Chains A and B, each alone.
Chain A
Amino acid sequence: MMNSQEITDLNATTDPFVVAGRTLSSRLVLGTGGATSMATLESALSISGTELTTVAIRHFSAAGSTNVYELLNRNNVLALPNTAGCFTARDAVLTAQLAREALETNWIKLEVIADEHTLLPDPLELYSATEQLVAEGFDVFAYTNDDPALAQRLQDVGVAAIMPAGAPIGSGLGILNPHNISTIVARANVPVILDAGVGTASDAALAMELGCDAVLLASAVTRAHNAPLMAAAMRDGVKAGRAAYLAGRIPRRDTALASSPTEGMMQTLVGEF
Chain B
Amino acid sequence: MTSINIIVNSQPVEVAKGLTLREFIAAHIGKELNEDSTAKDGSKLGLAAAVNGAVVPRSSWNARQLEDGQNLDIVTAAQGG
Chain A residues with a Cβ under 8 A of chain B = 31-35, 41, 54-62, 66-70, 72-73, 79, 81-82, 84, 94, 97-104, 169-170, 196, 216, 218-219
Chain B residues with a Cβ under 8 A of chain A = 9-10, 28-30, 44-50, 53-55, 57-58, 73-81
Would you call A81 and B53 a contact (CB within 8 A)?
no
Q: Which residues of the other chain, B, contact A73 by a CB distance below 8 angstroms?
A: 44
Q: What's the A-B contact tally at a CB cutoff of 8 Å?
A: 105
Cα(A202)–Cα(B77), bound, Å: 30
Q: Which residues of the other chain, A, contact B57 by a CB distance below 8 angstroms?
A: 101
Question: In this complex, what residue of A is CB-closest to B46?
Answer: A69
Would you call A79 and B73 a contact (CB within 8 A)?
no
Distance in angstroms from A35 CB to nearest chain B CB is: 6
Would you call A32 and B47 a contact (CB within 8 A)?
no
Q: Which residues of the other chain, B, contact A56 by a CB distance below 8 angstroms?
A: 77-81
Would you call A59 and B79 a contact (CB within 8 A)?
no
Would you call B79 and A101 a contact (CB within 8 A)?
no
Would you call B55 and A59 a contact (CB within 8 A)?
no
Question: In this complex, what residue of B is CB-closest to A32?
Answer: B79
Would you call B29 and A69 a contact (CB within 8 A)?
no
A-B contact pairs, 29 of them (CB 8 A): A33-B79, A33-B80, A55-B78, A58-B76, A58-B77, A58-B80, A59-B10, A59-B75, A60-B9, A60-B28, A60-B29, A61-B9, A62-B30, A67-B46, A68-B77, A68-B78, A68-B79, A69-B46, A69-B77, A82-B81, A84-B80, A94-B50, A97-B48, A98-B73, A99-B48, A100-B48, A101-B48, A102-B45, A216-B81
